[in-house]
Amino acid sequence: MAITIKTAREIGLMRESCKILSDLLNRMEEYIVPGISTYEIDEKAAAIIKEYGVVSNFLDYDGYPASICTSVNEEVVHGIPRKDRILKEGDIITVDAGVIYKGYNSDAARTFCVGKVAPEVLRLVDAARDSFFEGIKKAHAGTHLYEISNAIDDYITPLGYGIVRELIGHGIGTDLHEDPEIPNYRQKRRGPKLQAGMTICVEPMITLGSPEINWKDDGWTVATVDGKPAAHYENTILITDGEPEILTLV
């Protein structure tokens, strides 16, 4: 699959898809409280998606059984919502979601704190978010793709956190996952040159301990091998000749 450059019409549709997703994630924060199950959080998200008259691009994606992903503590990504997974004070949870609006996809993730969390965990969550913003300083037409990867690594590695290597960012448009692939760690090559009209998802996934991961028995949930927490921050962005437009941060 080649990297696609979106037309003005397509960018408009992407903006609408991403605006809906941004509202969804903003509204999720009020539900992230001790005592709620991840299944209930998924139900809340599904209701908001229905309210907008769009569909989840996660539901039934390669058989995924829910509208959103809910990854708790050591779970990095793709956690399946469950009735018996009850949030408690001090947990962190990543809500990863996307919708399809008139054929165009959006994708974003936020790691939320459940009540008061340990200081080192809060620093991890903040670092994941901050590394995203460091990375997209390089996200404009004329630079090379892996400058984003290198900037994320340059920010995270000195802090002593792990960077998950098996899971990476991606292009997005009429498909949820398009070219190019966007690693979150330093690359030896420069990668393709960025062009105005590209839409991509930049999504650092970092760990408090080892970056080693494995897949749980459900076939979806990815977790740290050492059981230490992980944080994930993602937005869909539009490459322009100037500063990138963060489409899912409205």
For the record, the structure tokens of 45 come out as 């998200």
pLDDT band for 250, please (50, 70, 90 cuts): confident
String of b and e for 187-202 (b: at least 16 CB within 10 Å)?
A: beeebeebeebbbbbb
pLDDT in tens, 14-52: 999 999 999 999 999 999 999 999 999 999 999 999 999
Using the predicted structure, report yes or no on whether residue 79 has a pLDDT greater than 80: yes
Phi, psi (5° rounding) for residue 12? -60, -40
Average of per-residue pLDDT across 64-72:
98
pLDDT at 1 exceeding the cut of 90: no
For residue 171, pLDDT over 60 is answered with: yes
Q: The pTM is what?
A: 0.97
- Strand 199-202 vs strand 169-171: parallel, antiparallel, or unpaired? antiparallel
pLDDT of 162 > 90? The answer is yes
Ramachandran bin of 103, using left for φ above 0, alpha for ψ from -120 to 50, beta for the remaining angles: left
pLDDT tens column, 94-134: 999 999 999 999 999 999 999 999 999 999 999 999 999 99
- CB count in 10 Å sphere of residue 223: 21
With beta carbons less than 8 A apart as the criterion, state whether 55 and 98 touch. Answer: no
Name the DSSP letter for residue 234: B
H/E segment holding residue 42? helix 38-51
Please tell me the predicted confidence (pLDDT) of residue 2: 87
**Contacts of the segment 77-83: beta carbons below 8 A, 24+ positions apart:** 77/109, 77/167, 77/205, 77/222, 77/232, 78/220, 78/221, 78/222, 79/38, 79/220, 79/221, 80/218, 80/220, 80/221, 81/37, 81/38, 81/39, 81/41, 81/42, 82/37, 82/38, 82/39, 83/37, 83/39
High-pLDDT (> 70) share of the chain, %: 100
Average pLDDT over residues 62-71: 98
Q: What is the pLDDT of residue 231?
A: 98
Residues 68-93 have a mean pLDDT of: 98
